[in-house]
Each structure stands twice: as structure tokens, then as C-alpha cells.
């Protein structure tokens, strides 16, 4: 089912935490709320869950106005940052708890618990207690407990933040698989950009209680609408300049050609250049953006190398995706850097 937010505002005293947020999340969509700590993303999720009542606006779950509906009446289930498992109950008993509260018959209860455990691949751990499980396994149990009540909307509040890097990668894939297999509409809160970019169907970046940008992961990464989004999603180089003419910006190290027109001549703008779109070495003949610099620091990271290049006093971070083995303090006094106009993002705000 779809979830619709219309002008949702939530305050705590004089502090506005969620500020006039409107969103429409499609049926079966895996939607991410992304942003730094304190941006309002968890508060917004809790408004959808029914734990907080908005001060203004409306929340529709499906076609039902759920703005003031009690949490237990909403067709939604929540997975928390902490697993919140009962330590004295087995995996099976933890998963069954929500069904027992709802008075589900024992025969149906057993079947639904088995189905939920199979979905999260925890059937062989059904008789274990939480202390006998790894963090990833406990998170799977928490997912099964939410799924067993057969919600039409799944709400996830930073569910992977307590896991190590390898388990986070594994669980990203599993959460997406489960949501798509069941056909759930899911709203997922995180501050992890890579998690959002790799899992989301669409995402919203929040800043100071407002939506800074909503779109497909690739759109938001490659075409951020402002400096906050460009700096928050991944890494980027910010270059200050002024519009010379349509498609050209004058910077401290020369004229930069852009695929987007920018503003009026003379207007100050910022350029965002992702480190992976900047290249070292001899450029192709058709590239207009070629500058001379000096590499003053290089770090070999396995799958890539990171270089810091000084170009007329400006430092550009460059990711070399086909690195050679280089020394940490190796300096290259003369190096060409180049990038294509279509990879330059002009930011007016």
C-alpha cells in the first residue's frame, strides 16, 4: 500500500523537528529517509508508526487517514535500531509473541512463525536464545518478528547500525530481498549513504527537518540540487566561481566548461566535482577541461588510489579506479588533470 504525507510538522516545545514534509511513497516501494543526526528522519518515521502525533499535516496509510490512529491499529510494523528481543525466550517464542498478543490460533500461529523464520533463513536457529546468536542473526529474528504479523508497511529505524561492516553488506541484500519477495512497502531510516544508494528504490535527503531532495539514488548522487546534498551524499570537490557565460564558469584555476548553463553572467556559483570523475594523465583530444597541477599526496586503498592534487592553489581530491602501487608520500610535480563538462554540477545554493 502507498503511504502519503501531507505537510507533516512535528514540534517538541519551541523546536520544530519535522517541518512541513510532504511525500508519496508508492505501493511496494523501498523508500529511504537519509540525513545526519538530528535532521528529523527518525521523528518522521515515528509519526508514520503512530508513536508521535504530528502537530500539523496528515498521514495516509493506503487510503486511510492514520494521522491520529493508535499505533497498534495501523497496518505497519517497526524494526528498531536495537533488536529488542526477549532474552529469556527462544527465537521461535520471540517471533510468535506478537501473534499471541493478537490471539491468533495455535495452528495458524505455528505455520506463520515457520514461514517468517524461513523467509529470514533462521529455521535452524528456532530453538536458540538471543545470547546464542550473532548480531546479524538477531537482526534477522527482529525482522521475522515484524514480518510475522503480515504488515503491509514495514518501518525500519537504522536496523544495521549495530553490525560490523561485513554483516551490514550481507543484511542490506537480505532486507531488499525480503521486502521485494513479500511485496512490502518499506520506509527505511539511515545516515549511511552507501546503504541508501545500494538498497533504495528512491530516497529523500533530510536537512533541518525539511526535505532537501527526493529522487532515485543515481539522480541524487549525480545531480544534487544544493551544496548540502552534494556534500552529504558521497565525497565531492567544491569549487567556487562566477558564471562567465552559458555553460562556462570562471574559477581560481581557469575557465571550466559545464553541460548545464548556470545562472546569469557574473553570478557566484559553486561547482561540485566527484573525485571519481576527475582523471590524471593525458586527456582525450575532445575534453575541454584540462588543467596542470601537482600531486602532493597519494594513498593506495586496494580497489582505488586517492590523490590530492594542487591546481593553482586549489586542492582536488581524485579517485583513481585503476591504481598502480604507489608510495604514501610520493609527489608528482607535474600532472594533468581533466574532467568532462557533463560531470560538472553547477550549484546556485
Q: What is the pLDDT of residues 284-295, one digit of tens each?
A: 999 999 999 998
Look up the pTM and report it: 0.89
Find the mean pLDDT for residues 13-35: 96
Residue 330: pLDDT band (50, 70, 90) is low
Residue 170: pLDDT band (50, 70, 90) is confident
Please tell me the distance from the alpha carbon of residue 111 to that of residue 107, in angstroms, as a whole number. 7
For the segment 235-264, what is each residue's pLDDT rounded down to a tens digit? Answer: 999 999 999 998 999 999 899 999 877 678
Q: Comparing 322 with 336, which gets the higher pLDDT?
A: 336
The reported pLDDT for the residue numbered 162 is: 80
Residue 8: pLDDT band (50, 70, 90) is very high
Residue 217 has pLDDT above 90, yes or no: yes
- In percent, the amount of the chain with pLDDT more than 90 equals 64
Residue 95: CA atoms inside 13 Å, Cβ hemisphere, count?
Answer: 32
Residue 257: CA atoms inside 13 Å, Cβ hemisphere, count?
Answer: 11
Find the mean pLDDT for residues 166-195: 90
The reported pLDDT for the residue numbered 262 is: 67
Q: Which domains does the chain have, with CATH numbers?
A: 3-228 (3.40.50.300), 238-347 (2.40.50.100)
Residue 154: pLDDT band (50, 70, 90) is very high
The reported pLDDT for the residue numbered 205 is: 97
List all residues 6 or more positions away from 115 whose beta carbon is below 8 Å from its beta carbon: 148
- In percent, the amount of the chain with pLDDT more than 70 equals 97
The reported pLDDT for the residue numbered 49 is: 94
CB 183 within 8 A of CB 105: no
CB 317 within 8 A of CB 307: yes
Residue 331 has pLDDT above 70, yes or no: no
Tell me which range, 77-91, 118-132, 293-307, 322-336, is most confidently predicted by mean pLDDT.
118-132
Tell me which range, 16-30, 88-102, 147-161, is most confidently predicted by mean pLDDT.
16-30
**Mean pLDDT of the residues in the chain:** 91
Cell numbers that stand for 27 in this block? 505501493
Residue 101: pLDDT band (50, 70, 90) is confident
Residue 319 has pLDDT above 80, yes or no: yes
For the segment 33-89, what is each residue's pLDDT rounded down to a tens digit? Answer: 999 999 999 999 999 999 999 999 999 999 999 999 999 889 899 998 777 889 999
Residue 327: pLDDT band (50, 70, 90) is low
Amino acid at each position: 500500500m502507498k503511504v502519503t504525507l501531507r505537510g507533516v510538522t512535528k514540534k517538541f516545545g519551541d523546536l520544530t523537528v519535522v517541518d512541513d514534509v510532504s511525500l508519496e511513497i508508492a505501493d511496494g516501494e523501498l523508500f529511504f529517509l537519509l540525513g545526519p543526526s538530528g535532521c528529523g528522519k527518525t521523528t518522521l518515521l515515528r509519526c508514520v508508526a503512530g508513536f508521535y502525533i504530528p502537530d500539523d499535516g496528515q498521514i495516509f496509510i493506503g487510503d486511510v487517514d492514520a494521522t491520529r490512529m493508535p499505533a497498534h491499529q495501523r497496518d505497519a510494523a517497526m524494526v528498531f535500531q536495537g533488536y529488542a528481543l526477549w532474552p529469556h525466550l527462544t527465537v521461535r517464542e520471540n517471533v510468535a509473541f506478537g501473534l499471541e498478543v493478537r490471539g491468533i490460533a495455535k495452528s495458524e500461529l505455528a505455520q506463520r512463525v515457520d514461514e517468517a523464520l524461513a523467509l529470514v533463513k533462521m529455521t535452524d536457529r528456532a530453538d536458540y536464545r538471543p545470547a546464542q546468536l550473532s548480531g546479524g542473526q538477531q537482526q534477522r529474528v527482529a525482522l521475522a518478528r515484524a514480518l510475522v504479523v503480515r504488515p503491509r508497511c514495514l518501518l525500519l529505524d537504522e536496523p544495521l547500525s549495530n553490525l560490523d561492516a561485513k554483516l551490514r553488506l550481507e543484511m542490506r541484500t537480505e532486507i531488499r530481498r525480503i521486502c521485494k519477495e513479500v511485496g512490502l512497502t518499506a520506509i527505511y531510516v539511515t545516515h549511511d549513504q552507501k546503504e541508501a544508494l545500494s538498497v533504495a528504490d528512491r530516497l529523500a535527503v533530510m536537512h533541518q527537518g525539511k526535505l532537501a531532495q527526493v529522487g532515485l539514488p543515481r539522480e541524487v548522487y549525480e545531480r544534487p540540487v544544493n551544496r548540502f546534498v552534494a556534500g552529504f551524499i558521497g565525497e565531492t570537490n567544491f569549487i567556487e566561481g562566477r558564471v562567465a557565460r552559458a555553460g562556462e564558469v570562471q574559477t581560481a584555476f581557469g575557465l571550466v566548461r559545464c553541460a548545464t548553463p548556470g545562472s546569469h553572467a557574473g553570478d557566484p556559483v559553486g561547482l561540485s566535482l566527484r573525485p571519481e570523475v576527475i582523471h590524471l594523465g593525458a586527456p582525450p583530444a575532445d575534453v575541454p577541461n584540462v588543467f596542470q597541477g601537482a600531486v602532493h599526496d597519494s594513498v593506495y586503498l586496494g580497489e582505488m588510489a586517492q590523490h590530492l592534487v594542487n591546481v593553482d592553489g586549489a586542492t582536488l581530491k581524485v579517485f583513481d579506479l585503476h591504481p598502480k602501487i604507489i608510495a604514501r608520500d610520493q609527489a608528482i610535480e607535474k600532472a594533468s588533470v581533466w574532467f568532462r563538462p557533463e560531470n560538472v554540477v553547477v550549484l546556485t545554493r
